[in-house]
Amino acid sequence: MTELLPLPAGFTTAGIRCGIKSDPQKLDLALFVSDRPCAAAGVFTTNLVCGAPVKVSRDRLPRSTARAVVINSGNSNAATGDHGISDAKRMTTLVAEQIGASSDDVLVASTGVIGRFLPMDVLEAGIPVAAKQLSETSESFLLAAQAMMTTDTFPKQATQSLRIGDKTIRISGACKGAAMIAPNMATMLCVIMTDAGLDQDQAGTMLRQSVRDSFNCISVDGHESTSDTVILLANSASGTVVNTPDECQMFQHALDEVAMKLATDIIRDAEGAHHFVELNVTGCRTREEAFRIAKAVADSPLVKTAICGADPNWGRIVSAAGYAGVPLLESDMTLAVNGFLLYQSGAPVEFDAKQVSTSLRDNRNVTIDLTLTHGLEMVRFWTCDLTKEYVELNADYTT
């Protein structure tokens, strides 16, 4: 059962099948629309090879008059040159015509195969159909989340509400993930809507902060996507403006919670994964050093296959830390997996390999704690194991 989550005030959504994907059962077009102008901000892939929709939406953000996001799945409109840019812009114009907005106030994102032109005929026909189905219901929000999915096995949504003064503010978001997931960011698309009042600078600052500790701390396979997009829309429909430092902190916290839930759902649904791995790298001089170590460990196929095989091969973890580009000595490191101490201050610890292996086998959730002696900075990072199913899923994606 998928839980039904509410939309913030003033937002409507839709998810339909327009015919981009070959499977006739699958939805492939989502709309997120606000009934009034939104402060909007975005965070995008840093890959220099990026999709046309990334270029179009990045150019339009931040802004204070955004009205909608249109997303298609099944085709990423990436590596498609000027033709692709023109197709992405056309998608926003089609939406703008339906909702009575300027094209520039519509943002766009696409996910799917790289390097193929969008089938514009099905989008020309589909966008008006989707616009007619726009609704404020939880069911429509779920359909929109489903229409973003590629190899995801479940839709990913999150919501939080908070009280500021006598008003309730809501933040709701949807995302898709599955693979090509690496920091900055993932083939992940995410739309977060709130009925709070923010200005566009606030929206940008708060979104970057949330993304830093959520979507930028997940890795499935280390391959940085061409299409990663996170968009925040704030439409003020709650009648409450987030203003004082306290209110900002409360709002930031709620936004963090939404982003974290969505990001970890991506790892829970990572392609072919059997294990959900939380990696805590603590005791570092800087967050950046903690992050580098976490990313080196999380991206190592040898670490990921060991977890798949429930093999407490801790040498692979500490040796990945050794090539992270962070100055360190072996004796600076202590490692525990699922609470079992395996390596302390640079020396192996006697442990019951069978017991640790059983713990890895019986728990879908794995915790790796790598503690250094350098300082007080830390990072929490999420990844998954590397399985035969991952290879199967990715060995013939386009053919």
Contacts of a copy of itself in 60-79 (CB under 8 A): 76, 78-79
Q: Is 244 left (phi over 0), alpha (psi -120 to 50) or beta?
A: beta
Number of residues that bind a copy of itself (CB under 8 A): 71
315 touches a copy of itself by CB under 8 A: yes
Residues between 197 and 226 that touch a copy of itself (CB under 8 A)? 221-226
59 touches a copy of itself by CB under 8 A: no
Residue from 313, 341, 359, 377 binding a copy of itself (CB under 8 A): 313
What are the backbone angles phi and psi of residue 9, rounded to the nearest 5°? -60, 140
| Class of residue 347 by CB neighbours under 10 A (exposed 0-12, middle 13-18, buried 19+) | exposed
Residue from 180, 190, 193, 372 binding a copy of itself (CB under 8 A): 180
d(CA 168, CA 65): 23
388 touches a copy of itself by CB under 8 A: yes
Nearer to a copy of itself, 46 or 102 (CB): 46
Nearer to a copy of itself, 234 or 318 (CB): 318
Of 45, 92, 111, 187, the active-site residue reads 187
Nearer to a copy of itself, 22 or 399 (CB): 399
d(CA 224, CA 204): 22
Nearer to a copy of itself, 64 or 282 (CB): 282
Which of 358, 378, 374 has its CA nearest to residue 366?
A: 358
- The distance of closest approach from Cβ of residue 309 to a copy of itself in the complex, given in angstroms and rounded to an integer, is 3
386 touches a copy of itself by CB under 8 A: yes
Window contacting a copy of itself (CB under 8 A); options: 34-42, 86-94, 278-286, 383-391: 383-391
334 touches a copy of itself by CB under 8 A: no
Looking up tokens 């100055």 gives 327
Residues between 75 and 134 that touch a copy of itself (CB under 8 A)? 76, 78-81, 83, 113-116
Window contacting a copy of itself (CB under 8 A); options: 6-14, 137-145, 258-266, 341-349: 341-349
Rg (CA), the chain: 22
Which of 170, 216, 162 has its CA nearest to residue 190?
A: 216
Nearer to a copy of itself, 181 or 379 (CB): 181
The neighbouring-strand residues paired with 281 are 370, 379
312 touches a copy of itself by CB under 8 A: yes
Nearer to a copy of itself, 51 or 173 (CB): 51
Residue from 188, 298, 306, 370 binding a copy of itself (CB under 8 A): 306
d(CA 94, CA 99): 9
Cβ neighbours for 166, distance < 8 A, ≥ 6 positions apart: none
- The distance of closest approach from Cβ of residue 301 to a copy of itself in the complex, given in angstroms and rounded to an integer, is 4
Is residue 187 annotated as a catalytic residue, yes or no? yes
Residue from 86, 346, 355, 363 binding a copy of itself (CB under 8 A): 346
H/E run at residue 342 = strand 340-344
d(CA 367, CA 342): 13
**Cβ-count burial 13-38 (b if 16+ within 10 Å, e if not):** bbbbbbbbbeeeebbbbbbbbbeebb
d(CA 31, CA 144): 7
Residues between 222 and 251 that touch a copy of itself (CB under 8 A)? 222-226
- The distance of closest approach from Cβ of residue 107 to a copy of itself in the complex, given in angstroms and rounded to an integer, is 21
d(CA 129, CA 372): 56
Check if the beta carbon of residue 96 is closer than 8 Å to that of residue 131.
Answer: no
394 touches a copy of itself by CB under 8 A: yes
Residue from 211, 318, 368, 370 binding a copy of itself (CB under 8 A): 318
Which of 88, 74, 80 has its CA nearest to residue 49?
A: 80
48 touches a copy of itself by CB under 8 A: yes
359 touches a copy of itself by CB under 8 A: no
278 touches a copy of itself by CB under 8 A: no
Q: What positions carry a catalytic annotation?
A: 187
